[in-house]
Amino acid sequence: MDIYSLTPLILAIPFAMFLFIGLLGTKFKPVVSGILGTSGLAAVFILSLLTAYRYFWVDGMADHTYRMFVAAETTWLTFTEKLIIKGGVLIDPISVMMLIVVSTVSLMVHIYSIGYMKGEKGFERFFAFLSLFTFSMMGLVVAPNIFQMYIFWELVGVSSFLLIGFYYQKPSAVAASKKAFIVTRFADLGFLIGILILSYINGTFDFLSITSPEGIAVTKNSGLTFLGFSAATWAMMLIFMGGAGKSAMFPLHIWLPDAMEGPTPVSALIHAATMVVAGVYLVARLFPLYYFTNPNTLHLIAYIGGFTSLFAAVIACTQYDIKRILAYSTLSQIGYMILSLGVSGYGGEEGLGYMASMFHLFTHAMFKALLFLGAGSIIHAVHSNYMNDMGGLRKYLPITHFTFLIACITIAGIPGFSAFYSKDEILVAAFHHDKILFGIELFVAGLTAFYMFRLYFNVFWGADRHYHHTPHESPYVMTIPLIFLALASVLAGYLPFSEFISSDYRPFETEMHYNIAIPSVLVGLIGIAIAWLLYRKVNNAPDKIVKSLGFLHTSAFNKFYIDEIYLFITKKILFNLVSRPVAWFDRHIVDGTMNGIAWTIEYTSEKIKGFQSGQLQQYALVFVSGAVFFLLVFLYLFFN
């Protein structure tokens, strides 16, 4: 059986699970939903693995170049001869890689959730939404045209909204879900406009033709301009705006830390490993277009990524909520990926940044999912999100401790663990392209090591806190995914990634760059050492440092007041200057006209309703006088 023709099942199975669990889940015991969802995902995982095996090891290559082809396609809507919207499955190296990432993390999260969500109200609902999310994310990564990508892009937004607001009785969760939805939706507006411009220029939605050399030429030479930029630049910038919203790049990052109100497995799946890298994936998908038509936009993208990674890393050093620290860490790591795409060239060794970005996406998905699931296990044990309520947990949670340590070492970029390899490639790419960005990223690497080990030492070392009950290790159903992801975090680095993924689809060789790897490892070690000195034992040194930093620390702790700036702009400026006048116009002019018409009619009918008196003889009198009147009129007319 041809595995490629089975790829639509990767979409169909989670969707069927969503419908089944969503409609009938409450008819069975909760655990049935969990097992159903998980087994569906296991099938998807196996299918993805088979597809990847077939593609990368059997017949993906033709002429030393990976093929890009549509494995299955169906026409969904035909508006006109040119405007046709299709749905299908696109197979190319990055989509197959994303299939692996999404299905692996999603499967682990499903297994983990059976333990983590046990006894929660809405267990079935949770699994239904997880399936919906997996379906949407799969649809996004395999989209063969940009319109399908947009549809699934919105669907992942919806599932993210539903899952962040899973504890809908909690006002903060509701607010966070709304915030996430509105911010990403706002960014998607740009995305949609970008899609429309791009497909207007090209006359097609298909990635195959848009990113082909002819498509690039068409885009480049469209000749349309607006406000001094070409239409192609506008399109690519607006499309990146959508990507920046979903990937929470500065200044649209504000929703991601709040999204941590959702259950922890959701944070691991959606807000660390899969959905938030959709923006990276989008830029990678359209990379040739960016590179050949808009090098300046790509430059901007690199700087946005670099700035976000620095900005988020600084905030992460000051936070106390462990999930928020991880969220800012995610922002920072996605910044790395975006930067890496931004500094990439095209083809072979030049395209190192592209490959490094995808590589980091892959390893980050594994270790960040592990970190979140580990954090979930900690929260499960101590029933708090705050670092101050934790300490000395290594005795109570041996497996969580061990896997968490592995993840921390990985993210710190210590050799032998996966992120070392991917981060090294990113730094090399940045070094060749832009020394400033390289400097920033090197510094961020140190910060990353510092804040992760700050978290690690605070939680697992230090003094015991007063716990309500002795913390206990999580059940196997939760620790097995941790162990699996820990293995993946270590081993993913040994994949010869450049053999599989490159900007021009031709495999190339990479080598270690010791002149860059050694400084980055040293910086990481310095970060760990500082964290070790400050947080290994309980002491007052951190407080002193905080005091001496004064305003710098306060503003970083308050996330540089970005939320407040947004609130100021929306509440004070937009609401007062735009919304209120519009509301006044609506209430007084539009509604006033309608109410006036209704009032006039009512008043008139009130006045004339007395004619219908119910008195038979009045009617008769009117009738007779009418008849007489007409008689007289006719007499006058005919006999005059």
Rule CB under 8 A: which of 347-376 touch other proteins?
Answer: none
Candidates 112-120, 207-215, 407-415, 609-617: pick the segment binding other proteins (CB under 8 A): 609-617
Which of 109-117, 143-151, 380-388, 616-624 is the region at the interface with other proteins (rule: CB under 8 A)? 616-624
Tokens of 61: 């290559």
Q: Between residues 550 and 614, which has the closer beta carbon with respect to other proteins?
A: 614
AA identity, residue 449: A
Q: Which long-range contacts (CB under 8 A, 24 or more apart) does 179-186 make?
A: 179/254, 179/255, 179/258, 180/255, 180/256, 180/258, 180/259, 181/157, 183/245, 183/252, 183/254, 183/255, 184/157, 184/160, 184/245, 184/246, 184/252, 184/255, 185/157, 186/245, 186/252
Using the rule CB under 8 A, give the single segment among 253-261, 320-328, 372-380, 606-614 that binds other proteins: 606-614
Q: Least distance in Å: CB of 195 to other proteins?
A: 59
Residue 614 engages other proteins in binding (rule: CB under 8 A) = yes
3-state helix, strand, coil in the chain (%, to 5): 75, 5, 20
Q: List, in order, residues 6 or more apart from 493 with CB less than 8 Å away.
A: 363, 416, 417, 418, 419, 420, 421, 422
What is the distance between the alpha carbons of residues 385 and 324, in angstroms, rounded to a whole number? Answer: 9
Instruction: In angstroms, give the least distance from the CB of 595 to other proteins.
Output: 23
Q: How far is the CB of 606 from other proteins (least distance, A)?
A: 10
Q: CB neighbours (10 Å) of residue 24? A: 14
Distance, CA of 169 to CA of 346 (rounded, Å): 50
Q: How far is the CB of 616 from other proteins (least distance, A)?
A: 6
Tokens of 230: 């070409």
Q: Taking the complex as a whole, how short is the minimal distance between the CB of residue 632 and other proteins, in angstroms?
A: 15
Minimum distance, C-beta of residue 611 to other proteins, in the bound complex (Å): 8
615 binds other proteins (CB under 8 A): yes
Residue 550 interacting with other proteins (CB under 8 A): no
Is 613 among the residues that bind other proteins (CB under 8 A)? yes
Helix (H) or strand (E) holding 109: helix 93-116
Piece of 102-110, 175-183, 273-281, 619-627 that binds other proteins (CB under 8 A): 619-627
Q: How far is the CB of 602 from other proteins (least distance, A)?
A: 13
Candidates 509, 607, 609, 640; binder of other proteins (CB under 8 A) is: 609
141 vs 149: CA distance, rounded Å: 7
Question: Of the two residues 496 and 610, which places its CB atom closer to other proteins in the complex?
Answer: 610
Q: At what angle do helices 8-24 and 30-53 cross, to 10 degrees?
A: 180
The reply on whether position 620 binds other proteins by CB under 8 A is yes
**CB of residue 618 vs other proteins: minimum separation in angstroms?**
9
Closer to other proteins by Cβ: residue 80 or 617: 617
Q: Is the peptide bond before 496 cis (omega within 30 degrees of 0)?
A: no
Window contacting other proteins (CB under 8 A); options: 30-38, 127-135, 402-410, 613-621: 613-621
Is 610 a residue that touches other proteins (CB under 8 A)?
Answer: yes
Q: Is 607 in the site for other proteins (CB under 8 A)?
A: no
The single residue among 621, 631, 632, 633 that binds other proteins, judged by CB under 8 A, is 621
- For residue 607, the minimal CB distance to other proteins (Å) is 12
Name the segment binding other proteins (CB under 8 A); options: 172-180, 311-319, 517-525, 620-628: 620-628
**Tokens found for residue 116:** 């983590």
Q: CB within 8 A of 398, min separation 6: which ones? A: 473
One of 58, 463, 594, 616 touching other proteins (CB under 8 A): 616
Taking the complex as a whole, how short is the minimal distance between the CB of residue 622 and other proteins, in angstroms? 10
Q: Collect all residues with Cβ–Cβ distance below 8 Å to 263 and sequence separation of at least 6.
A: 113, 116, 117, 120, 126, 163, 166, 167, 376
Minimum distance from CB of 605 to other proteins (Å)? Answer: 9
Residue with tokens 């008849």, as numbered in its chain: 627
Q: Which is nearer to other proteins, 224 or 621 (CB)?
A: 621
- The answer to the question of residue 617 lying near other proteins (CB under 8 A) is yes
- Residue 449: closest CA among 423, 413, 416, 487: 413
Closest CA relative to residue 235, chosen from 286, 270, 184: 286
Closest CA to 375 of 409, 407, 413: 407
From the list 552, 601, 624, 632, which residue makes contact with other proteins (rule: CB under 8 A)?
624
Residue 52: strand, helix, or coil = helix
Helix residue ranges per DSSP H, 495-590 = 497-500, 514-535, 541-549, 551-557, 562-567, 580-585
Which of 8-16, 199-207, 328-336, 610-618 is the region at the interface with other proteins (rule: CB under 8 A)? 610-618
Per-residue interface string for the shown chain with other proteins, residues 557-596, x marking contact by CB under 8 A: ----------------------------------------
Binding segment for other proteins (CB under 8 A), chosen from 220-228, 240-248, 383-391, 605-613, is: 605-613
Report the residue number, 77 or 620, with the smaller CB distance to other proteins. 620
Which lies closer to other proteins via its Cβ, residue 470 or residue 615?
Answer: 615
* Phi, psi values for residue 486, rounded to 5°: -65, -45
- Kindly state the smallest distance separating residue 613's Cβ from other proteins, in Å: 5
Residue 92: DSSP 8-state: S
Residues that bind other proteins (CB under 8 A): 609-610, 612-617, 620-621, 624
